[in-house]
Amino acid sequence: MTRKIIHVTLVVNDYDEAIKFYTEKLDFKLIEDTTLSESKRWVLISPNESGGFCLLLGKAANQQQASRIGAQTGGRVFLFLHTSNFWHDYYNMQRKGIKFTREPVEETYGTVAVFEDLYGNLWDLIEKKQ
């Protein structure tokens, strides 16, 4: 039996602004954008070579969900974006206006910096040591 996590929901304020941010600023691919109802869409985005894993962009449908936008983990790093070329991605993201909240450091496991997405969720950009 094989089991794996394939999607994680990222609560967003607006589908289109989130798609634009992730595809233009982080170079993710829009995998699917299907209208489910007048107010709900099935939107999947993914970085290249993600092994099938996608973020499901879920527009907040009520005040409780809206209160979680940008704070899904209470201020901890939420997601980890692995790269095979840290410095290329770091400088490219800086050029595109991505805000880094922690500058790059060399750790025992690799090079890492923390950045914010458009809503303030924290991400690690990380290149593992070989």
Residue 59 sits in the same domain as residue 79:
no
- 49 has pLDDT over 80: no
CA distance 23 to 7: 17
Task: Identify the pLDDT of residue 130.
Answer: 82
- 13 has pLDDT over 90: yes
Task: Identify the pLDDT of residue 85.
Answer: 96
Average pLDDT for residues 11-18, to the nearest whole number?
98
Residue 3 sits in the same domain as residue 60:
yes
Residue 2 sits in the same domain as residue 65:
yes
CA distance 96 to 53: 24
Average pLDDT for residues 19-33, to the nearest whole number?
97
Residue 16: give the domain boundaries: 1-69
Encode pLDDT of 52-105 as tens digits. 899 999 999 999 999 999 999 999 999 999 999 999 999 999 999 999 999 999
- 47 has pLDDT over 80: yes
Supply the CATH number for residue 91's domain: 3.10.180.10
Q: Based on the structure, what is the number of domains in the chain?
A: 2
- Tokens 């829009």 belong to which residue? 30
pTM over 0.85: yes
